[in-house]
Amino acid sequence: MASSEKACTIWFTGLPSSGKSTISVLVENEIGTRGRNVEVLDGDVVRTNLSKGLGFSKEDRDTNIKRIGFVCHLLTRNGAFAISAAISPYREIRDEVREMIGDFVEVFVDCPLEVCIKRDVKGLYKKAISGEIKEFTGISDPYEEPLNPEITVKTGDETPQESATKIIAKLEELGYLSQQGNTVDSGHAEELATVTL
């Protein structure tokens, strides 16, 4: 298999409402336009279909991430790009998934907590701060930033398109995509503006 045909798992990690889902869809669209197979495993969708019944204890969170990681492993092993857009707050389990998958590109979606709170259309941060929601990442539950991510996007300062373009450029640099020098299409950005998990 030529290097340009190799696939990887793109693993987004960051606080709730940092922009993971918005950027992941832009990256998915760009990879798809290049004729490559790509699937997004979004945190909310996974919890509804793959991890139904799991709570938010550390054990349940780890189980959720292991399940996502296993599906990503299968997809990547079979030549498809897998994009995980879950919070995945714990460093140890992310590293475990990295080891299992191998072709693993970690994207730290770095966004200040105050910006995430402002963006939160579901009002979850407000409920967590008031104590209505327990074990909420960034408020009552820890978030462990990656130590050496392949890519860091600063979504408090960058547009979703700028962040996505940075990710695509890194995938080209690493040999997972052929060099095209294109910027990511911004056509879907407005409709995705409120989808920031």
State the sign of the Cα–Cα–Cα–Cα dihedral 125, 128, 134, 137: positive
CA distance 121 to 34: 32
Give the tokens for residue 140.
């009552």
- Among candidates 124, 111, 113, 126, which has minimal Cα distance to 56? 124
> 13 near 107, Cβ under 8 Å?
yes
CA distances, 49 to each of 32, 44, 46, 54, 196 (Å): 23, 9, 5, 11, 20
Q: Report strand pairing: 38-42 vs 9-13.
A: unpaired
Query: Which residues does 175 contact at the CB level (< 8 Å), separation at least 6?
Result: 3, 4, 6
Q: Which of 18, 24, 88, 163 is catalytic?
A: 88
Instruction: Decide if 163 is catalytic.
Output: no
- Among candidates 132, 138, 133, which has minimal Cα distance to 119? 138
Active site residues: 88
